[in-house]
């Protein structure tokens, strides 16, 4: 333990943000340690962007406290130390891609080489193209370049891969991994489960302005012993009471839909064997038998509901 | 793609202020001078009007005719770029998220404003040079005694109309800004004391008339502008600037 520990990268407690009568962020607590990647995950309107923009110093808030690298958001000494990729990018409509990145690079003491970064991001073919004529994905990549050019300690990426094709998305994932490897702290928002699962050390699931779950992707998907399931298909309407009796305490059996059976609980090789023996006794073949961990998507849908939000 | 370890190792810090100001102002000026519609508004139309006013006697104008026309067109040029051009650019810059983008860099807030103003002043210098050379070819002689006053009136006019432009462009939707800024430009030109001296009292309280009158003192008579026009420009500029700091939004 260091006697004088550095403050966390981001420290939010009891944050409240209202727009008129609507509460966008409702008592949010969040701590991000330095050098980690944190993903704020949530459906549209969960309050992700409001939270990030408050940390960036773009929005005032109504209650709570926010510290970024130990300082007040938006503080003059703080701004050179953070990199920001706002949702939907940002550039003068007529500015050329290279010109925009050079302008942002001028604002930094030790910038990365703009020409190199543009090439890494696959923008070398549009250096002289005006911003408004870039595709959505190109604008996003330029915006990411602007966030990284100043070699910041902490970057905020608001939906960094929105509007990108799969190749560009993969590249951004590699970039974020490289940032993390070099000790840069990354706070990103996304509503893509695989993105959060692949990149984040810590996932915070938000809904209606509150944190509904948080932890590493592994913790979230294997929380407790009830998170696994064994699924198989067989003839519909089998009597499962004998199987229930044969299985250890705590496992539940049900016919989820006609012909699809689920065994939920702690699944071990013995359980699989019991299930297949029972099928043999019933004279049925267990088809499509699989043991699955819950995905982050299952956790997410469980916590935030399956119905479509308007 | 593989990145060598250490490629992104943090090394934060703010760039040099002078260089940030220079690059920001240069970018702003270049964007204006590259934009066809802006060139039409800030150069082509004033140039055409200068030639028309100087050569055709349809519009009554005090003698020396070319000098009076030049003063009015200098005023119009400043209104075109500092007010109309600035308002429209700001409206669309907000739409495209550039203010947020720049506010997220280490550019200090004051530098964002000074950079924009310096960019606008650079454009005004280009306009006045082109218009001044044209006026000279049409027979205008500039009283050198007025050079200092010309510089002062140009800066004051650019700042006042710039503040009005920011007030208009900083809060409304881009399309509404576009429409209003062009309509106001036309109204000020026709009845705001720019193209014509309007003998109605309240017109002298408009910043457009004040700028045209101050410009006339400086470049026709080579003398200091009256205290009246200067006060009018100051009051409009300060009022607009104060209001704009409260109403201007990043997006």
Looking at beta carbons, which residues of chain B come within 8 Å of A94?
31, 34-35
Q: What is the average pLDDT across A156-175?
A: 92
3-state secondary structure chain A: CCCCCCCCCEEEEEEEEEECCEEEEEEEEEEECCCCEEEEECCCCCCHHHHHHHHHCCCCCCEEEEEECCECCCCCCCHHHEEEECCCCCCCCCCEHHHHHHHHHHCECCCCCHHHHHHHCCCHHHCCCEHHHCCHHHHHHHHHHHHHCCCCCEEEEECCCCCCCHHHHHHHHHHHHHHHHCCCEEEEEECCHHHHHHHCCEEEEEECCEEEEEECHHHHHCCCCCCEEEEEECCCCCCCHHHHHHCCCCCEEEEEECCEEEEECCCCHHHHHHHHHHHHHHCCCCEEEEEEECCHHHHHHHHHCCCCCC
Give a yes or no: residue B9 inside a domain.
no
Q: What is the average pLDDT across A91-98?
A: 95
Length, in residues, of chain A = 310
Which residue of B lies nearest to A168 if distances are taken between CA atoms?
Answer: B1
Beta-carbon separation of B97 and A179 below 8 A:
no
Q: What is the average pLDDT across A34-59?
A: 93
Beta-carbon separation of A151 and B98 below 8 A:
no
Give a yes or no: residue B4 inside a domain.
no
Looking at beta carbons, which residues of chain B come within 8 Å of A134?
none
**Per-residue pLDDT at A306:** 64
Give a yes or no: residue B80 inside a domain.
yes
Give a yes or no: residue B150 inside a domain.
yes
Answer yes or no: is pLDDT of A127 > 50: yes
Please tell me if residue B191 touches chain A, with a CB cutoff of 8 Å.
Answer: no
**Per-residue pLDDT at A290:** 84
Answer yes or no: is pLDDT of B70 > 70: yes
Mean pLDDT of chain A: 90
pLDDT-derived band at A225, boundaries 50, 70, 90: very low
Residues 76 through 95 of chain A touching chain B, CB cutoff 8 Å: 76, 79-84, 86, 88-95
Question: How many domains in chain B?
Answer: 1
CA distance A91 to B93: 7
Looking at beta carbons, which residues of chain B come within 8 Å of A86?
97, 100-101, 104
**Per-residue pLDDT at A197:** 86
Domain that includes residue B30, residue range = 17-247
Answer yes or no: is pLDDT of A4 > 60: no
Give a yes or no: residue B1 inside a domain.
no
Residues with Cβ within 8 Å of B173's Cβ and at least 6 positions away in sequence, in order, are: B91
Give a yes or no: residue B6 inside a domain.
no
CA of A61 vs chain B CAs: smallest distance (Å): 16
Please tell me if residue B249 touches chain A, with a CB cutoff of 8 Å.
Answer: no
CA distance A160 to A167: 14
CA distance A139 to A142: 5
Question: Can you tell me the ipTM of this complex?
Answer: 0.89
Tell me the domains of chain A and their CATH numbers.
10-221 (3.40.50.300), 228-293 (3.30.70.1130)
pLDDT tens by residue, A273-282? 999 999 999 8
- Greater pLDDT, B72 or A291: B72
Give a yes or no: residue B96 inside a domain.
yes
CA distance A272 to B58: 100
pLDDT tens by residue, A9-32? 999 999 999 999 999 999 999 999
Beta-carbon separation of B11 and A182 below 8 A:
no
**Exposure b/e, A102-113, CB count within 10 A at least 16 = b:** bbbbbbbeebbe
Answer yes or no: is pLDDT of A308 > 70: no
Which residue of B lies nearest to A144 if distances are taken between CA atoms?
Answer: B101
Q: What is the average pLDDT across B46-54?
A: 93
Answer yes or no: is pLDDT of B224 > 80: yes
Answer yes or no: is pLDDT of B204 > 90: no
Give a yes or no: residue B11 inside a domain.
no
Looking at beta carbons, which residues of chain A come within 8 Å of B35?
94
Answer yes or no: is pLDDT of A67 > 90: yes
Query: Which range (A158-162, A286-290, B206-210) has the least confidence?
Result: A286-290
Answer yes or no: is pLDDT of A64 > 60: yes
Mean pLDDT of chain B: 92
Rounded to 5 degrees, φ, ψ at B89 are: -60, -45
Q: What is the average pLDDT across A108-121?
A: 96
Beta-carbon separation of B96 and A91 below 8 A:
yes
pLDDT-derived band at A252, boundaries 50, 70, 90: confident
């Amino acid at each position: 333990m260091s006697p004088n520990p550095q403050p966390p990268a981001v420290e939010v407690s009891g944050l409240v943000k209202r727009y008129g009568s609507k509460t966008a962020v409702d008592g949010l607590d969040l701590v991000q340690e330095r050098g980690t990647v944190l993903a704020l995950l949530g459906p549209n309107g969960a309050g992700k962007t409001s939270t990030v923009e408050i940390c960036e110093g773009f929005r005032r808030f109504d209650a709570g406290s926010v510290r970024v690298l130990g300082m007040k958001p938006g503080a003059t000494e703080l701004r050179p130390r953070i990199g920001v990729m706002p949702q939907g990018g940002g550039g003068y409509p007529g500015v050329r891609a290279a010109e925009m990145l050079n302008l942002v690079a001028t604002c930094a003491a030790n910038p990365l080489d703009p020409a190199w970064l543009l090439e890494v991001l696959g923008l070398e073919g549009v250096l002289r193209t005006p911003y408004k004529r870039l595709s959505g994905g190109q604008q996003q990549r330029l915006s990411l370049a602007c966030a990284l050019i100043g070699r910041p300690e902490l970057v905020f990426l608001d939906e960094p891969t929105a509007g990108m094709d799969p190749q560009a998305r993969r590249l951004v994932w590699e970039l974020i991994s490289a940032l993390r490897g070099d000790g840069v702290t990354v706070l990103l928002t996304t509503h893509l489960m695989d993105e959060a699962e692949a990149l984040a050390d810590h996932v915070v699931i938000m809904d209606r302005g509150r944190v509904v779950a948080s932890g590493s992707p592994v913790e979230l998907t294997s929380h407790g012993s009830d998170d696994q399931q064994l699924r198989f298909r067989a003839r519909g309407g089998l009597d499962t009471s004998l199987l229930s009796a044969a299985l250890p305490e705590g496992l539940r059996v049900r016919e989820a839909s006609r012909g699809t059976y689920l065994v939920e609980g702690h699944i071990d090789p013995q359980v699989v064997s019991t299930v297949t023996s029972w099928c043999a006794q019933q004279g049925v073949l267990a088809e499509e038998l699989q043991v699955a961990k819950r995905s982050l998507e299952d956790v997410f849908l469980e916590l935030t509901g399956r119905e479509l939000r308007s | 793609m593989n990145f060598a370890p250490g490629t992104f190792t943090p090394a934060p810090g703010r760039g040099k202020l002078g260089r940030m100001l220079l690059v920001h102002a240069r970018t702003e000026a270049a964007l204006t001078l590259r934009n066809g519609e802006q060139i039409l508004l800030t150069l082509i139309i004033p140039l055409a009007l200068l030639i028309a006013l100087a050569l055709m006697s349809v519009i009554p104008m005090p003698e020396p005719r070319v000098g009076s026309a030049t003063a009015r067109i200098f005023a119009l040029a400043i209104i075109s770029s500092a007010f109309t051009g600035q308002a429209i650019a700001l409206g669309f810059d907000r739409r495209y998220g550039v203010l947020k983008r720049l506010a997220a860099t280490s550019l200090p807030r004051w530098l964002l404003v000074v950079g924009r103003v310096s960019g606008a002043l650079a454009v005004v210098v280009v306009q006045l040079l082109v218009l001044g050379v044209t006026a000279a070819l049409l027979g205008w002689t500039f009283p050198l005694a007025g050079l200092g006053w010309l510089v002062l009136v140009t800066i004051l006019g650019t700042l006042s109309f710039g503040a009005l432009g920011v007030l208009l462009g900083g809060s409304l939707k881009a399309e509404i800004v576009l429409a209003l800024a062009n309509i106001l430009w036309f109204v000020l030109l026709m009845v705001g004391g720019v193209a014509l001296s309007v003998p109605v009292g309240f017109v002298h309280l408009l910043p457009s008339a004040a700028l045209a009158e101050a410009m006339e003192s400086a470049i026709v008579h080579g003398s200091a502008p009256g205290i009246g026009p200067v006060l009018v420009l100051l009051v409009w500029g300060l009022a607009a600037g104060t209001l704009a700091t409260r109403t201007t939004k990043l997006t």
